[in-house]
């Protein structure tokens, strides 16, 4: 066993997203609100942080996650980007990314 590989924590497991779901989201296939919630947890953000990073309202995030609405158009494109490169949202929220 290698000592330089850190042990996974409960937080790591709770944020995990199945590879098949992530690949599907990378293709822009959002099937349910659970997909959006899983992606948000995967990037380690609250609904407020996720909404701010994606430049949409918290109400919209909640509507997606609760299945009242589905992402469309540009929102799906953003979800694809985040699924393929989760670090992009963290970069968008960093102080150096602000104009």
CB atoms within 10 A of CB 12: 11
Domain, as residue range, for 49: 10-94
Number of domains in the chain: 1
Is residue 1 included in any domain, yes or no? no
CATH of the domain at 37: 1.10.260.40
d(CA 83, CA 80): 5
Q: Over the stretch 56-69, which tens digit does the pLDDT of each residue have? A: 999 999 999 999 99
Indicate the pTM of the whole model.
0.81
Q: What are the tens digits of pLDDT across the range 14-31?
A: 788 888 999 999 999 999
């Amino acid at each position: 066993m290698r000592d330089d590989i850190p042990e996974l924590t409960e937080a790591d497991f709770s944020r995990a997203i199945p590879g098949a779901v992530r690949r599907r989201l990378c293709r822009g296939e959002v099937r349910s609100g659970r997909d959006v919630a899983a992606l948000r947890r995967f990037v380690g953000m609250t609904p407020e942080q996720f909404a701010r990073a994606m430049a949409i309202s918290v109400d919209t995030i909640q509507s997606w996650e609760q299945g009242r609405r589905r992402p469309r158009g540009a929102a799906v494109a953003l979800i694809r980007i985040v699924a393929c490169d989760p670090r992009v949202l963290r970069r968008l929220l960093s102080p150096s990314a602000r104009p």
